[in-house]
Amino acid sequence: MKLHKESKGTITVATILFVILGALAIYFLKIWSLLIILPLLVIYSLVFWFFRVPDRNILEHKENVIAPVDGKVVMIKEVDEDEFIKGKAIQVSIFMSPLNVHICRYPVSGNVIYKKYHPGKYLVAWHEKSSTENERTTVAVETLTNHKVVFRQIAGYVARRIVFYCNEGDAAKAGHEFGFIKFGSRMDVFLPLDTEIICKIGDITKGGLDVIAKLKD
């Protein structure tokens, strides 16, 4: 199983803790140490599972808006996007549990024209206000169809580290990685009002593969 580059520090710490706690359990509890070691082994395995990098065949897209993450669609709503669009947009929000793949992918193809990191709170990721009050990053892309699409990584109650690698001027390719969020969170995508929304609330998405909307060409 291929692991993400962001896993290095977390897995190092988890390995050290697993060895120390396992050794202490064996020393003090002898045969009963299995009651400690087995749950520790499950947790240790979940750390590796969280950082997995699935092998996915990413296609070329123009009008299609691709799911930026693995997760569940929890919101489709017309909102005011005040940071970049400064007007009405359709917000599609996808919630990621700690068991989902947490690679963040470009939802559209084009050019990165804006990026900004915002410190903030750590409300639960499905809270509506988390989009504007939590720690988050905002990225905007001018698409191949000449639309401006904004998407936002949002830290949740558990997720306390957001990473994004893109810079203004970079080429964005739908389905390709631009960042990572550790241990459960949410991504919002803000689309033009005339966008055809294909997904619905409750849908389970595969990042980089599933089409969630279609821009007008």
pLDDT band at 108 (very low <50, low <70, confident <90, very high): very high
Helix 7-29, helix 34-50: angle, nearest 10: 170
pTM to 2 decimals?
Answer: 0.89
Q: Is pLDDT of 146 > 90?
A: yes
The helix or strand, by DSSP H or E, that contains position 17, with its residue range, turns out to be helix 7-29
Nearest partner of 188 among 106, 98, 56, 94, judged by Cα = 94
Q: What is the mean pLDDT of the chain?
A: 91
The confidence score (pLDDT) of residue 130 equals 56
> Quick one: which of 15, 43, 50, 54 has its CA closest to 159?
50
Token pair recorded at residue 19: 């060895």
Of 142, 139, 144, 145, nearest in space to 187 by CA: 139
Catalytic residues: 185
Mean pLDDT of the region 142-146: 97
Residues in the chain: 217
Q: List pLDDT tens digits, range 5-50.
A: 999 988 999 999 999 999 999 999 998 999 999 999 999 999 899 8
CA 64 to each of CA 38, 119, 188, 217: distance values in angstroms, whole numbers, following the listed order: 45, 31, 16, 10
Q: State the virtual CA torsion across 177, 178, 181, 187 in degrees, nearest 10.
A: -90
Question: Are the C-beta atoms of residues 39 and 54 closer than 8 Å to each other?
Answer: no
- For tokens 């691709």, the residue is 66
Q: Are the beta carbons of 137 and 159 closer than 8 angstroms?
A: no
Tokens of 91: 């917000």
